[in-house]
Structure 1
């Protein structure tokens, strides 16, 4: 079985060394960088060599380039790549910032290495399942004035192209399949995130806000919330 590749960015040598060894014991291929700039260099080198990473794990507080700046740089190039933040902080603002960047999870230190392994495995399973769903869809379809290209992760209107993350593409696909229907919030979370826990719920709220902005050029498209029940993707 081919090992799944992890880009780990952690500036604490002892902690990073332990995580790397533990992940490798669990059949991951780990590239470890000790600051954000080194991690970005590794990412660029592997991308050029056509050996892409499957998932990233970023410490938030690092020298030269912090985890947020690193994630932003990588998302701009590979929006489909899932990533997790590690942090010693419990600040609400940091969590929200991570969610807005599209983080798939957020783990507060200290934590057991087993937790990280399980989170990585779960995220990769969801990502692969979502990618398979997208691969099985048609090349493109019309949503009001927009054209959605699920396999290319693009949403187009006129000459404007919005590049989508993998999660955004999965969410649009799910909404389109259930358009003009009231979708239960937990069903939506389990269908796209694979979990209806608190973090997934907050993450979904951030992604819903993004989609509302993406579709704002067509007044006939909206995402309506029914408090305590779910959401409806309204489209012509």
Structure 2
């Protein structure tokens, strides 16, 4: 079970990295620390972490680029960004590059720990190999296999990230009915704040893009309240 708590931490501020590493280790995590983008990619491949905590600004690159590279072959391992950037465009960039969560500096180590545990718990629950395999669900001309997150159209498959698959499944379970925005945020993020809300907006936009090749499918935004999947 120890391997399920392995964290890859990319942070180039030595003092902050030491505090985060020591605190998380006291909470039972195994923490592998890197200070550069190149070292992070190398350690990711050699150590197979269960979650990545990436500083956005690194000496030889940035966390967004690391996430994009990892997401080319790995859509499941959760990624949390640590950054002093807080513009809406930065938040959008973070989630579009494949992030699952976004924590603005300065942050509470306790909050980071809670978010890590939440993402690890969701990852284990959704993708546990012991779960009974289900038949694909038809969404218009698409088929969707959950919890694997495989979206198929005319034989072409797209593997969704954990969070994309979870949101689409929630929309499917509430088909033709409004799914409250607060329900999604509190269920999947355990938070209902600005950054979580912006990340949800990005994921909804991505799902619309993935489903655009069937004109009968709509994810309707109900202003200030939630979303409705119709087809």
Answer yes or no: same fold by TM over 0.5: yes
Residues 1:103 and 1:32: Cα distance change in structure 2 (over 3 Å): same
1:127-150 superposed Cα distances (whole Å, 9 cap, x missing partner): 334446x94561422111011122
**Structure 1: unaligned runs, 5 residues or longer:** 47-51
Counterpart in the other structure of 2:142: 146
Counterpart in the other structure of 2:176: 180
1:222 aligns with 2:218: yes
Write the distance in 2 (CA, Å) between the matches of 1:207 and 1:179. Answer: 18
Counterpart in the other structure of 1:39: 40
1:23-57 superposed Cα distances (whole Å, 9 cap, x missing partner): 111100111111011111111123xxxxx322110
**Matched-pair contact (CA < 8 Å) for 1:126–1:193:** no
Counterpart in the other structure of 2:11: 10
1:101 aligns with 2:102: no
Q: SS at 2:52's partner residue?
A: strand
Q: SS at 1:107's partner residue?
A: strand
The within-5 A match list for 1:47-58 is 52-58=48-54
Q: Provide TM-score, normalisation by structure 1.
A: 0.88
Write the distance in 2 (CA, Å) between the matches of 1:229 and 1:108. Answer: 26
Equivalent in 54, 57, 60 of residue 61 of structure 1:
57
Residues 1:208 and 1:222: Cα distance change in structure 2 (over 3 Å): same
The within-5 A match list for 1:105-124 is 105-124=101-120
Counterpart in the other structure of 1:26: 27
**Structure 2: unaligned runs, 5 residues or longer:** none
Counterpart in the other structure of 1:49: none
Write the distance in 1 (CA, Å) between the matches of 2:145 and 2:2. Answer: 29
Residues 1:15 and 1:191: Cα distance change in structure 2 (over 3 Å): closer
Write the distance in 2 (CA, Å) between the matches of 1:194 and 1:118. Answer: 9
The within-5 A match list for 1:141-220 is 141-220=137-216
Residues 1:191 and 1:53: Cα distance change in structure 2 (over 3 Å): same
Q: SS at 2:179's partner residue?
A: strand
Q: Provide TM-score, normalisation by structure 2.
A: 0.90
Residues 1:87 and 1:5: Cα distance change in structure 2 (over 3 Å): same
Identify the range of structure 1 (186-195 vs 76-85) with the bigger mean alpha-carbon deviation: 186-195
Alignment length (residue pairs):
230
Write the distance in 2 (CA, Å) between the matches of 1:22 and 1:183. Answer: 37
